[in-house]
Amino acid sequence: MSKLTWLNGLPVEEAQAEFLRCCGSTRWAEGMARARPFVSQAAVYTEADWLWSQTGPEDWREAMTHHPRIGDISKLREKYKTTATWSSQEQRGVQEASEEVLQGLADGNREYEARFGFIFLVCATGKSAGEMLALLRERMNNEPEAELRIAAGEQAKITRIRLEKLLTSP
């Protein structure tokens, strides 16, 4: 059975739980579960993008609460068990970082959260810790509303990657 057939056949609550692994917005996950059955993977991605475009700041902030801080590997295992493997893979660039860069990320994350009221969110896949730290520092200069929109865009990228993993991993 294909992963798409499996996803289409899940009870609503189980489908919502699978979609929540991809994006922590309850409203978005409920919409995805209701939109089934999907005729193709492309249809899943199109619906995901459309539903995300219909969300707003409350949904974005909720989704952000489902992410560990960049570089906080211990929290990955503890709090985010349902997405820990994915998050760990996405943050692979942090694992080889120097102590200076890791400390910069820790300090920067605290400053960022104090300034904006939510964690620094970046699609970490393929980025080194140094690149993420540079992005964090650059984005500290944004106005809060603009930064929230940027973070929501990063969530959309993460959601796409996680949907791909959901539909293709064994």
Catalytic sites, residue numbers = 67
Dihedral angle of Cα 40, 45, 50, 56, to the nearest 10 degrees: 140
- What distance in Å separates the CA atoms of residue 168 and residue 165, rounded to the nearest whole number? 5
Contacts of 55 (CB under 8 A, 6+ apart): 25, 27, 28, 152
Angle at which helix 26-35 crosses helix 57-64, to 10 degrees, equals 100
Are 165 and 86 in contact by the 8 Å Cβ rule? The answer is yes
Residues in the chain: 170
User: 129 and 73 in contact (C-beta within 8 Å)?
Assistant: no
